[in-house]
Amino acid sequence: MRRGQWLARPLIGAILTLLVGCSAAPEPGPSLPTFPASDDGSAATAASRSTDSGVVPDDCSRILPVDQLVAVFGLPLNSVMVRTTVGVPAPSVGRLERMDCAYTGTAPAGPDSGKRVLAINAAAYTSPDAAHAQWVLNTSGEDGAHREQPVGSAAGVLVERPGETLLAVQYGSGTVTLVLPDRALPSGSTPASMLVDLARRVLPTMAGTAPAPSSAPPAPPEPVRALR
């Protein structure tokens, strides 16, 4: 018994020392660096608009986030990627900037693998008149059946042709063109309704091109004429 007590005392002391050490507050170490969320196309990047060189977002993942596109189409997550191409200004027509967005299917076994799912062109001009002139010129040169398709208060033209449907919208001093290749769509949807839905998501990202609110006073009501 004495020998057992003698062996137990060092063991109990070691356990108490360990418990005291664990209860002490850890010494502060070097702070770890933080990184923004990875921009894999599944969500809009967290970068501020102040980093953009103009009024149109410099990254297509913020013009139309991929997670919104797959939600509208009913596609699996991480099955689409987007590629951003920065265009050049065209002073002769008053174009200040242009962004081209190519959305492509990436699921190896999916029907969209390697195929274009959607294309978007977003551009900003020096004035609404310059944007309108180029919008009219571009839409008139498109092959296919044309019909008016406004998007809210923005003017739009829908062009239907074999293989794809196009929607061109003028939004103040900006234009947006969306091209949807023929594909299976969710039940009850049409190419026109899908393009209008997508355009409604794109236009708010181009707030810098939004038309100025009308400053004209409302027309006075017509006087009520008494019946004789």
| Alpha carbon distance 193, 213 (integer Å) | 27
Torsion of CA 196, 200, 203, 207, to 10 degrees: 160
- Of 66, 160, 168, 77, give the one whose Cα is nearest residue 118: 66
Note the CATH number of domain 53-209. Answer: 3.40.1000
Contact predicate 51/36, CB 8 Å: no
Tell me whether strands 116-125 and 95-105 are parallel, antiparallel or unpaired: antiparallel
pLDDT digits (tens, 9 = 90+) for 21-53: 444 443 333 333 332 333 344 334 444 455 788
Q: What pLDDT, on a 0 to 100 scale, did the predictor assign at position 222?
A: 53
- Taking CA atoms, 93 is separated from 50, 51, 126, in Å, by 26, 26, 9
**Range of weakest confidence among 69-78, 95-104, 113-122, 207-216:** 207-216
Amino acid at 3: R
What the block records as the tokens of 24 is: 């002490």
Angle between helices 191-202 and 66-73 (to 10 degrees): 160
pLDDT at 220 over 60: no
pLDDT at 136 over 60: yes
Q: What pLDDT, on a 0 to 100 scale, did the predictor assign at position 215?
A: 52
Q: What pLDDT, on a 0 to 100 scale, did the predictor assign at position 52?
A: 83
Q: What pLDDT, on a 0 to 100 scale, did the predictor assign at position 223?
A: 54
**Range of weakest confidence among 152-156, 172-176, 218-222:** 218-222
Across 154-173, average pLDDT: 97
**Range of weakest confidence among 23-37, 70-84, 156-170:** 23-37
- Taking CA atoms, 174 is separated from 124, 147, 155, 167, 194, in Å, by 4, 20, 11, 14, 21
Count H helices, E strands: the chain?
5, 7
